[in-house]
Structure 1
Amino acid sequence: MLDVAVQAEGDWSSDTDWEALAARAAQAAIERTPYAGWIGAPVAIEIAVRMADNDEVQLLNRQYRDKDKPTNVLSFPMVQPDLLDTVTQNSDDGEVLLGDIVLAHGVCAAEAAERDISVADHATHLIVHGCLHLLGYDHLGDAEAEAMEAIERSALAHLGLHDPYPVEED
């Protein structure tokens, strides 16, 4: 079972069902990884998503990454990557807190405007991206980035959304 809790404050539109959007995004991401079996497992996989403002994300980015600027999404995994394969088997209370994802409204809205897409669609992409970070995926090297982007493309296509990484024509 997947349990996604969302806290949206400030400029995040109340017209959007952020709980449903985040749950669909997280499920689409997880289903495209070796952890797809978690979705039907008796263990509750928990993810917290905080829809914050740029100031809060800048503070977190400075505190945890030594980068004094807001960024679109931050992920805070609670499970070490080498323990992910067995985490559902070793849960004492039937719950596994996978981690936290934090989105910055101002950055998200600006990027959505640049891409000519809705804030909700871009937030969906960022939640998929953040969820993959919680699962140990990264994009530091070219091979890692290509693997992570392929999963993101697949998850977003499943959700009927745009390709966030269009191929640039020369």
Structure 2
Amino acid sequence: MAEAPPYRKSESLELPEGEAGARLPFCPGIRSEAEVPLEGWCSGRGSCWNYHCCLNDVGKALLCRASSSLFKDMSLLIRNLQRAIPIRRVPLRKNIEQIRRILGVQQFDLGVICVNNRHIQLLNRNYRWKDSPTDVLSFPFHENLTAGELPQPCARGEYNLGDIFLGVEHIYQECEENKEDFYSILTVTIAHGMCHLLGYKHSTETEWQQMYEKEAQILLELNRLSDTNLQPLTKHHF
């Protein structure tokens, strides 16, 4: 788990050599057409990275969005940039949509990107200075967030929560080790990441308590809707 990492101005995402999602000159995070995955996604906060949606055939279309207003009908974008772990999109999307409704943020765009260990480790090293894989990194679109308060956009292009990078390979390995259900933990991890996008942190015990209570509230309602028994990711953080 990780708090929203700090951005470095004017910096674009660099992927390891051979990683799915290579760099094209006009698309940060994409290095060569040959290595563009079936569903490429490079993203970040508007002030630092441009948004790009790399379609299956790069030769046909490469849509670049500098603001979310180009995607008014695509408020939830899920991209899978890894092949280590199969991802079932239908239940994943259903759970994310339920969490969005519980939080009351359906009107905000959200990006969820699934990556492997190498990719999440690169992000973790570049933005948190920790050279190891992790389960989730959240990149809020808005600055100076107050936990418990929704962002107050001034324009349509600002109706954006940001992006959640899921280290699905790392999550799967931990689930195997702890004998836990992968999709249950994936759902809990997404709820955790969305709390970070809304300003919640766990750097201190006071912050952790506030974030833990919010996660518990989300999962209590989700458990009621889906007949599950999900527990907050930060349960034993302090």
| TM-score in terms of structure 1 length | 0.78
Q: Deviations over 1:112-138 (max 9, x none)?
A: 234433211111111111111011100
Which stretches in structure 2 are left out of the alignment for 5+ residues?
1-72, 224-228
Determine if contact 1:2/1:27 at 8 Å carries over to the other structure: no
Structure 2 matches for 1:1-170, cutoff 5 A?
Answer: 3-8=75-80, 9-17=82-90, 18-28=92-102, 30=103, 36=104, 38-39=105-106, 44-82=107-145, 85=150, 87-88=152-153, 90-91=154-155, 93=156, 96-160=159-223, 161-164=229-232
**Other structure's SS at 2:75 match:** strand
Change (3 A) 1:6 1:141: same
User: What corresponds to 1:33 in structure 2?
Assistant: none
- Greater CA radius of gyration, 1 or 2? 2
Provide the rounded CA distance (Å) in 1 between the counterparts of 2:235 and 2:188: 17
**Other structure's SS at 2:183 match:** helix
Amino acid paired to 2:141 = M
Determine if contact 1:45/1:97 at 8 Å carries over to the other structure: yes
Provide the rounded CA distance (Å) in 2 between the counterparts of 1:132 and 1:86: 12
Provide the rounded CA distance (Å) in 2 between the counterparts of 1:152 and 1:66: 26
Change (3 A) 1:10 1:67: same
Query: What RMSD over aligned residues (CA atoms) do the two structures have, in Å?
Result: 2.7
Determine if contact 1:48/1:101 at 8 Å carries over to the other structure: yes
Change (3 A) 1:120 1:167: closer
Amino acid paired to 1:136 = G
Report which structure shows greater RCO (CA 8 Å, sep ≥6).
Answer: 1
Change (3 A) 1:166 1:85: closer
More helix by share: 1
Provide the rounded CA distance (Å) in 2 between the counterparts of 1:139 and 1:167: 11
Amino acid paired to 1:10 = R
Determine if contact 1:138/1:144 at 8 Å carries over to the other structure: yes
Amino acid paired to 1:162 = L
Paired positions, count: 155
